[in-house]
């Protein structure tokens, strides 16, 4: 009985030592991450191609802000009805290490004579200069990049510039917007000023289209 008890203790001791060794090996062989570096990350835009661009920016050493800017620039091409460099942006940045939240307000700016209740009675106000605002989106991107960017500014635009030199795939959302009468009817002002709309009237969702040479 004593020999059996001794053997049982030796087996348990061996298993315990083995478990400790395995745990140490797993811990010591884990890749180390420096400051602002992570093993896993994700970027979610409203199209796969823009999400991929943001992901690639992260993989190339960019910060979360770099990835967000690159994905937004792509979105201004893939879904210009939702986002564009001619608009404004509110950039919200969360610092996980400090728990602080920072907001960069880069919305459009308007003249002092702008009516504060203009949008509540827009049907009664004719089209005129009071509807004009100065875009702030690109300045918002620039400010966010100055504070928290790591990659060169131009590298955030390069994936989308390359995208514009190749056939583009129109998303179902873009196809639905382009089918709206304000975009599809000849002579409509929206058609003339929204990216691709006048040139791609006949394209269906998921069909490829090449951007106009003027771009």
Binding residues: 107
Binding residues for L-glutamate: 107
**What distance in Å separates the CA atoms of residue 69 and residue 136, rounded to the nearest whole number?**
14
């Amino acid at each position: 009985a004593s020999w059996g008890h001794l053997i049982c203790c030796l087996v348990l001791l061996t298993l315990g030592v083995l478990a400790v060794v395995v745990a140490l090996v797993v811990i010591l062989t884990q890749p180390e991450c420096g400051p602002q570096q992570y093993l896993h990350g994700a970027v979610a835009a409203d199209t796969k191609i823009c999400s991929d661009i943001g992901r690639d920016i992260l993989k190339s050493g960019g910060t979360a802000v770099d990835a967000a800017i690159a994905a937004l620039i792509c979105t201004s091409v893939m879904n210009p009805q939702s986002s564009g460099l001619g608009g404004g942006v509110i950039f919200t940045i969360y610092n996980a290490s400090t728990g602080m939240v920072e907001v960069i307000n880069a919305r459009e700016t308007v003249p002092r004579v702008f009516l504060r209740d203009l949008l509540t009675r827009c049907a009664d106000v004719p089209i005129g200069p009071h509807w004009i605002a100065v875009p702030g989106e690109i300045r918002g991107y620039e400010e966010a990049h100055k504070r928290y960017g790591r990659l060169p500014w131009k590298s955030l635009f390069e994936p989308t510039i390359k995208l514009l030199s190749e056939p583009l795939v129109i998303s179902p959302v873009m196809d639905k917007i382009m089918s709206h009468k304000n975009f599809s009817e000849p002579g409509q002002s929206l058609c003339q000023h929204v990216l691709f709309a006048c040139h791609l009237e006949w394209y269906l969702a998921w069909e490829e289209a090449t951007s106009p040479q003027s771009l």
